């Protein structure tokens, strides 16, 4: 006897979401990650402002390649969340609510987020 097929809603590789759906999911995920990373950012800021030694310690941590990659990931998430939020605000007032415009704005969100991340990467790793 063979196993019954898994439900489609659990198989993310078989679901064919439109680009706007992926942007919406990424918007939510990036918001959650940014929210969860906020206490760590505040702790680093407090440490760096606490004393000169704390500033140099945080600066040394952020100079590590892994820390730069994490920071670059957070920059990408912030850029994606920012541009997707602007897109959602525009859709709330019915700007670009047609199917073609929604597809274009979804692609625009991803391209702008990648461009901002590449700019940050150039600044971080140059």
Domain assignment present for 87: yes
Per the CB < 8 A criterion, the answer to whether 113 and 79 are in contact is: yes
Residue 106's pLDDT band, with cuts at 50, 70 and 90, is very high
CA dihedral 95, 96, 98, 101 (to 10 degrees): 170
Tokens describing residue 26: 């990424």
Domain count, the chain: 1
Residue 126's pLDDT band, with cuts at 50, 70 and 90, is confident
Q: Who has greater pLDDT, 1 or 3?
A: 3
**Predicted local confidence at residue 14, as pLDDT:** 72
Q: What residue numbers bound the domain in which 94 lies?
A: 19-35+64-125
Domain assignment present for 113: yes
Provide mean pLDDT across the span 74-85. 98
**Predicted local confidence at residue 7, as pLDDT:** 64
Per-residue pLDDT tens digits for 65-76 = 999 999 999 999
Per-residue pLDDT tens digits for 85-102 = 999 999 999 998 899 999
Domain assignment present for 114: yes
Domain assignment present for 2: no
Provide mean pLDDT across the span 38-56. 97
Residue 78's pLDDT band, with cuts at 50, 70 and 90, is very high
Domain assignment present for 119: yes
């Amino acid at each position: 006897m063979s196993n019954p097929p898994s439900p489609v809603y659990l198989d993310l590789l078989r679901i064919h979401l439109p680009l706007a759906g992926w942007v919406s999911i990424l918007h939510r995920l990036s918001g959650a990650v940014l929210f969860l990373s906020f206490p760590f950012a505040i702790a680093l800021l407090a440490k760096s402002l606490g004393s000169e030694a704390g500033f140099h310690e945080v600066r040394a941590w952020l100079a590590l390649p892994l820390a730069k990659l994490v920071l670059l990931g957070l920059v990408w998430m912030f850029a994606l969340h920012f541009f997707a939020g602007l897109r959602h605000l525009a859709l709330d007032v019915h700007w670009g609510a047609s199917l073609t415009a929604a597809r274009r704005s979804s692609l625009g969100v991803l391209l702008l987020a990648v461009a901002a991340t590449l700019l940050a990467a150039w600044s971080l790793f140059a």
